[in-house]
Structure 1
Amino acid sequence: MNRSDVLIIGAGPTGLVLALWLSKLGVRVRIIDKTSAPGSTSRALAVQARTVELYRQLDLADTIVRRGHQVAAANFWVNGKPVAHLPLKRIGEGLTPYAFVEIFPQDEHERLLLERLEDYGVSVERNTALDSFEETGDTLTAHLRLPDGRQEVCQACYLAGCDGARSVVRKALDTDFPGGTYQQIFYVADITASGPALNGELHLDLDQADFLAVFPLAGEGRARLIGTVRDERAERADTLQFADVSSRAIEQLKVHIEDVHWFSTYRVHHRVAEHFRSGRAFLLGDAAHVHSPAGGQGMNTGIGDAINLAWKLAAVLSGGAEPRLLDTYESERIAFARRLVSTTDKVFSFVTAQGRMADLLRMRVAPFLLPKMAGVEASREFLFRTVSQVTLNYRGMPLSQGEAGHVHGGDRLPWAHDGEGDNFEPLRQPCWQVHVYGDTSDEMIAWCAEHHLPLHVFDWRPAFETAGLGRNGFYLLRPDTYVAIADNSADPKVIERYFRDHGIRPFQ
């Protein structure tokens, strides 16, 4: 019987990243997908800074940045005229090595992930579907439908449902998926065009006409249009063609279309599963949560799910942690998913709302406020912190402890960089490690050496104080680079106690 450590259902970005991380950590994976080939079109575009930071652990960051397109600015239009210009080129300066907005379409993204996964000797099994599964003791048995129609029975220690909003895994677990569906029909079109909105920047129409955003793609004159379809046309979404889309917003943005390469319509949902785990089965990505496209959060959140779960599964499977560590996957990720759905829902509802008051806010109030906000560095930084996911944290969660400087247990480790070095360099290795900024004790040095726990001691510099890091304390970092312990002491017994209390044995 075909047996793996983890059986992954679905080979979108979430499933592929999970497979990659697990493979890098020595876990045997099997990944299946019911489609015959990777997607050649996509809706997801943005790769947020936090995702790129974590991709350093897979040596993917530089490739993503090189192949993608950095958006220099966002422009807001009303009545056919630009009313606000928001510079984005270094909007997150000092916060991250990737202080920009990166566009890298999902289809290209998936092809890159597939290439790297094959380097580990793992291929996606196409035209293969999950029929059912059951859990018996310490094993999960799955029934797969193969390309020739035959059924295969296989076993795995764990199963990961990365199979999208219509997840077979979620339905098999009988997990509720509460939420709703927005009334608007959306369209997406990849085009070649010319005009002032094809200058490599983001353009957003705030007019009372159909909502429209123009996203730049790599290459001369290439862009993606995302817009709404209202009135009676929305009732025939399945048969709509690009010619049926209202031209008013397109003309308002002065987009002169030369070619339409791809066009599709879809509805937007906002839902979060009641549970992200049941026994040995987990839900990730769109199988666990779907939300509006506001802020480009969807694909990045699914990738975050995968990274959070991967190191925990690897630890448990290797004997480096007790199975109860896996309980923290749901508690950490479901809280973020619920906050995200609530936030994107508010933004999305404002941008797409109809009626006189909504039009007044968009066309009169927003054009007045946006230029003022764009001119304030604090406003731009707040926007970047929110959208880039660098402020995503697990404060108050079971695996998070303490405070040192302005950093709490559960925070992403702040980036500190100057001419003398970069404190993120050691994070390329997905392992437990200790950071000290300043001086530490002989006991800490000896204990870390004895237990083969990497210890990185950085001479104190002003850059660390600016980043909010505490002097002479320590930070215990999880394999996903979030802070497990922030402590002002130099006492290794704090770490020893933490590992014992949480059933973690990273020295296996």
Structure 2
Amino acid sequence: MTETPRTKPQARNTPTVLIVGAGPTGLTLACELARSGVSFRLIEAAPGPQPGSRGKGVQPRTLEVFDDLGIVDRVIANGRMAMPIRSTALDGRVTLSGTETLGEHPDIPYPASLVTPEWRIEEALRLRLAELGGAVEFGTALSGFEQSDESVSAVVVKGGEAETVTARWLVGCDGGHSIVRKEAGIAFAGETREEVRMIVADVRVDGLDRDSWHMWRHEEGLLGLCPLPSTDVFQYQAGIAPGQDPEPGLANMQEILERRSGRTGIRLHAPEWSSLWRANVRLADRYREGRVFLAGDAAHIHSPAGGQGMNTGIQDAHNLGWKLAAVAKGASPALLDSYEAERRPVAAGVLALSNARLEQALEEKGIPTHRDASTTQLNVSHRGSALARDDRDESARLRAGDRAPDATRLTTVEGERRLFELTRGGRFTLLNFGVPTAVAVPPSGLRTLHVVGRPTGPDDVADTEGHLAGAYGAADRALVLIRPDGHIGLISDAGDASAVSDYLAAIG
């Protein structure tokens, strides 16, 4: 019999935002709110940090988000960029791939994907959250909620005691089985393909080098052993077709390994963590119901092919976080309408990409290794959004809504800097390429970087090598407004300072 939770006599906590789920998405959102000084509670039903490698691919765009949050060095230190993939084909031919990068470009600071176990990502985010004064409330589950025009009243349970928490907003970052989504009555359209399954496990391995990600293509299905940096284990992946044994135990995993690799000298140890993955591809009908929002796997579930799911969730939180913080401080509530308008089309595109790569993996009996702008997520854009305004024509390479590119070799009074160093911190930044008219600044302020021939003040930058003007296609009078999430809000090649003022005023 389930014990009925004991209810505390009154709600003693009224955070601005209640976040449900402390995976990468929820932790990113909490960090965004913490650095903006917005109160929140971050609850997680699990008793402690989740074990297992799970998602292990971090894309270049997500590394830029981590750069902005101040954890990218920590994450990279526990990972490996451009890990080689050693693939053995059905005919025994061996190829090496995965080492290609986007090359050295001043506008792209992280030219390759990073392999690191998901728990390392969560660890880095929890450390950053602690530095910002926040923490995860483990062993605390959402029981239910009601909402009004002004707030959300949620019941959370910890240690058998129920507490009512009243917040301005509730955000469900609680995964594919999201309680928040179900309680909000939001449909989760898509399919579960029971015939497409994969054993995933973290195992120690004898007899195999850790220099590359090893893959074998076999008529039965794919097999992969990927060394996980900063650990002594590999992630084991084996596709399981109908009729095959799906048990993620040592004996079955060893048998599959020997049969598909043709090698008997590789020995697995008992899994430290294991799971049977099923192809579940779904997209929430909407990302918002009143004061309740969805982000990450609660809003979209992907195939792991292409390494997109975790990255998309982190970028959801990066988008939503600054908007919640702005509205909490007095910005127009309409700003929150742009969250779904911008992020749901991105998730739909990512679902299409990951589905295509899943079909390719099933056909080729292996994991697709080709990487391009779509998998790196550097081409994610919010063109056409209500928050994207410019006076450029359709042929322009860079438009409002696009990712704001980086630029190196900028000279400041404090020495050489790259643009991303100057735009960190979750605020608006205006690049002024020579407009003398001052832009009216709202009370919350924004940083204006003046592009000059020789820097004399703290906000002056000299575009020494022309990388900044080149990346932004900027003429002498251009104004470019960069949003807190690293996307371009406005471009005025005409140097219209009033357009910038009107944009910021519209946000409030």
TM-score, normalisation: structure 2:
0.86
The 3 A distance-change label for structure 1 pair 125 and 429 is closer
- Determine whether 1:443 maps to 2:428: no
1:193 to 198, 205, 212: 205
1:485 to 485, 490, 497: 490
Post-superposition offset of 1:220: 8.1
SS of equivalent to 2:48: coil
Aligned to 1:48: 59
Mapped partners of 1:210, 1:260: distance in 2: 22
Aligned to 2:385: 397
1:149-188 to 2 correspondences below 5 Å: 149-182=160-193, 183-188=195-200
1:469 to 457, 460, 473: 473
Greater shift, 451-460 or 407-416, is seen at: 451-460
Aligned to 2:281: 270
Aligned to 2:251: 243
The 3 A distance-change label for structure 1 pair 170 and 293 is same
2:500 to 495, 498, 502: 495
Output the amino acid matched with 2:128: R
The 3 A distance-change label for structure 1 pair 471 and 129 is same
Say whether the 8 Å CA contact 2:75–2:120 is kept in structure 1. no
Aligned to 1:348: 358
Aligned to 2:456: none
Per-residue CA deviation, residues 167-189 of structure 1 (Å, 9 max, x unaligned), is: 11100111110111222221112
Greater shift, 249-258 or 70-79, is seen at: 249-258
Output the amino acid matched with 1:55: F
Per-residue CA deviation, residues 280-322 of structure 1 (Å, 9 max, x unaligned), is: 0001111100010011111111111111100000000011x11
SS of equivalent to 1:37: coil
The 3 A distance-change label for structure 1 pair 90 and 280 is same
Mapped partners of 2:292, 2:26: distance in 1: 14
1:25-36 to 2 correspondences below 5 Å: 25-36=36-47
Mapped partners of 1:143, 1:447: distance in 2: 44
The 3 A distance-change label for structure 1 pair 450 and 167 is closer
The 3 A distance-change label for structure 1 pair 241 and 450 is closer
Aligned to 2:375: 387
The 3 A distance-change label for structure 1 pair 305 and 87 is closer
The 3 A distance-change label for structure 1 pair 220 and 491 is closer
Aligned to 2:458: none
Mapped partners of 1:227, 1:255: distance in 2: 18
Say whether the 8 Å CA contact 2:435–2:479 is kept in structure 1. no
1:286-297 to 2 correspondences below 5 Å: 286-297=297-308
Per-residue CA deviation, residues 24-61 of structure 1 (Å, 9 max, x unaligned), is: 10000111111111112131111211111111222101
1:134 to 135, 143, 146: 146
Aligned to 1:415: 406
Mapped partners of 2:121, 2:231: distance in 1: 20
Say whether the 8 Å CA contact 1:434–1:475 is kept in structure 2. yes
* Structure 2 gaps, min length 5: 1-10, 412-416, 452-461
Post-superposition offset of 1:74: 2.7
2:427 to 427, 431, 451: 431
In percent, how many aligned pairs have the same letter? 30
- Determine whether 1:103 maps to 2:115: yes
Aligned to 1:455: 448
Post-superposition offset of 1:87: 4.8
Mapped partners of 1:104, 1:37: distance in 2: 20
Mapped partners of 1:497, 1:194: distance in 2: 63
The 3 A distance-change label for structure 1 pair 449 and 264 is closer
Post-superposition offset of 1:465: 5.4
Post-superposition offset of 1:276: 0.5
Mapped partners of 2:445, 2:319: distance in 1: 23
Say whether the 8 Å CA contact 1:209–1:249 is kept in structure 2. no
Aligned to 1:504: 507
Greater shift, 456-465 or 328-337, is seen at: 456-465
Output the amino acid matched with 2:171: A
TM-score, normalisation: structure 1:
0.86
The 3 A distance-change label for structure 1 pair 97 and 194 is farther
The 3 A distance-change label for structure 1 pair 474 and 50 is same
Mapped partners of 2:407, 2:292: distance in 1: 38
Output the amino acid matched with 1:139: S
Output the amino acid matched with 1:85: L
Mapped partners of 1:338, 1:19: distance in 2: 25
Post-superposition offset of 1:89: 5.7
Per-residue CA deviation, residues 186-240 of structure 1 (Å, 9 max, x unaligned), is: 11122333556x3432333333232123323125874212121124235xx4x54
Mapped partners of 2:265, 2:101: distance in 1: 27
Mapped partners of 1:412, 1:23: distance in 2: 24
Mapped partners of 1:81, 1:457: distance in 2: 59
